[in-house]
Copies of this chain bind each other. A is one copy, B any other.
């Protein structure tokens, strides 16, 4: 697979037991065998049916975005034993697409059609992404981490939506009171760092 997909795809084999990288081909992310996988709660991402997840999106620290699929490889007895991930660097395609689009595109952003109708989906993606990259369960986040998630949600405009507060609090599994407590802390530390 690594050969077929040329220099733009990274193929990683994870050990599900130790949560570490077993082998890696064409390492875009710079990981080496033995590194922690940070798969976190991959198993619970998509409880629907198959053992193949994705395609979903991940980002590298340098901003490149990857399209990823993962497959769980199971023992004969059914317990998972390894996870195979293929990460494709999208940037070249995005660049080419941007060239084509910009040729005729108005400077105004393409009418965002229906404004992100389902903001709860949006919210869940942000929270889910944080949980996955931080590698800790939602319930076990530290206070600063919770504040960080809130900052993301806030700057994504989620909190400007009517009646969102209770929903957001529920999604973060904290009380409404705590939500506001975190929020004021976020704002004060932002103005006096």
- Residue numbers of A with Cβ under 8 A of B are 54-57, 67-68, 88, 90, 93-94, 96-98, 100-101, 103-108, 110-112, 114-117, 119, 122, 125, 129, 155-158, 160-162
A107 contact set on B, CB distance < 8 A: 55
Query: Are A116 and B55 closer than 8 Å at their CB atoms?
Result: no
A115 CB contact (under 8 Å) in B90, B103, B110, B116: B116
- Shortest CB distance A152–B (Å): 10
Tallying the copies of this chain within the complex gives 2
A94 CB contact (under 8 Å) in B101, B108, B116, B162: B101
- Shortest CB distance A5–B (Å): 10
A103 contact set on B, CB distance < 8 A: 93
Chain B residue nearest in CB terms to A65? B110
A110 CB contact (under 8 Å) in B57, B119, B162: B57
Query: Are A122 and B112 closer than 8 Å at their CB atoms?
Result: yes
Chain B residue nearest in CB terms to A117? B157
A93 CB contact (under 8 Å) in B88, B100, B115: B100
Contacts A93-B101, A94-B101, A162-B161 known; A56 to B106 CB distance under 8 Å?
A: yes
- Shortest CB distance A45–B (Å): 11
**In the complex the two chains form, what is the Cα distance from A94 to B157 in whole Å?**
29
